[in-house]
Amino acid sequence: MSIVPAATRALRLLRFLATRPGPVSAAAAAAELGIPRSSVYQLLEAMAEEGFVTHLPEERRWGLGVAAFEIGSAYLRHDGMERLARPLLARLTEATGATSHLGVLHGADTLYLLKEQPPHAPSLITGVGVRLPAHLTASGRAMLALLPRAQVRALYPGAAAFTDRTGRGPGDPAELRRVLAEEARQGWSIEDGQVTEGFVSVAAAALDHNGRPAAAISLTVPSARPVTPQALAGRVRDAAAELTRRLGGRTP
């Protein structure tokens, strides 16, 4: 028997939430795990204070919080995601002449882990270690589009959560939901001048073993370049699918 039952129960509860397709009630969690409902409420409230779970009061349900996704992203980064993705980005850049990136979600930001740039390419703000608002980047939206709506709602609870760079891009939760729904249907995301004027990016998400977005691969070119976003999208979707395979991920 564990000498720290509260910690064991908290980890079991966190794992249970991670395997559910969406937020669940405390009663359902208690019944599934065989933990008293009062204990489940105490654990959920403690984890909510630390950002590992989020409460949806109107639905009386609980889901994973931002901190849980940060831990997952950190694990994937430390487990060699860059090494798995680097050759894919190199091939993308060589084949297209575009700048390629690997990004992950870090809270409501896109954090760039890798960048492959062709010779003589224009300088871009998206360097390794740079963070940009996820709702403005193609990489960020490719991942946000595959998150449960409750998680997106926790990241973007109101208009104050939206920052602006060039006067373009979603500016409130309703507009973001519309854009994400459209991009989820087509299987890739696009931003044109929302991060930097005169540049367009397309991106697709790679998935983990739970079918959740682990990272996104993107391609960026000058808007004036004679290439269609659809042509680039096919390339990034293939690369993201290969990264999904290398990560042991699955498509839900």
Residues β-bridged to residue 191: 201
pLDDT for 186 equals 93
**Band (2; pLDDT cuts 50, 70, 90):** very low
Under a CB-based contact definition with an 8 Å cutoff, are residues 163 and 115 in contact? no
Residue 58 burial by CB count (10 A; 0-12/13-18/19+): exposed, middle or buried? Answer: exposed
The yes/no answer on whether domain 5-64 falls in CATH 3.30.420.40 is no
Q: How confident is the model over 26-70, as pLDDT tens digits? A: 999 999 999 999 999 999 999 999 889 999 888 899 988 888 877
CA angle 243, 249, 252 (to 5 degrees): 120
CA–CA dist 71, 68 (Å, integer): 5
Q: In this structure, which amino acid lies at residue 123?
A: S
Q: Taking a C-beta distance cutoff of 8 angstroms, is the pair 239, 92 a contact? A: yes
Break the chain into its structural domains and give their ranges.
Answer: 5-64, 70-246
What pLDDT is recorded for position 191? Answer: 94
Write out pLDDT tens, residues 214-235.
999 999 999 887 778 888 999 9
Average pLDDT over residues 145-151: 92
**Side chain identity at residue 125, one-letter code:** I
Distance, in Å, from the CA atom of 236 to the CA atom of 127, rounded to the nearest integer, reads 19
User: Do the domains spanning 5-64 and 70-246 agree at the CATH topology level?
Assistant: no
Q: What percent of the chain has pLDDT over 90?
A: 53
Identify the CATH assignment for 70-246 out of 3.20.20.10, 3.30.450.40, 3.30.310.50, 3.40.50.10490. 3.30.450.40
Give the pLDDT confidence score for residue 210 in this predicted structure: 83
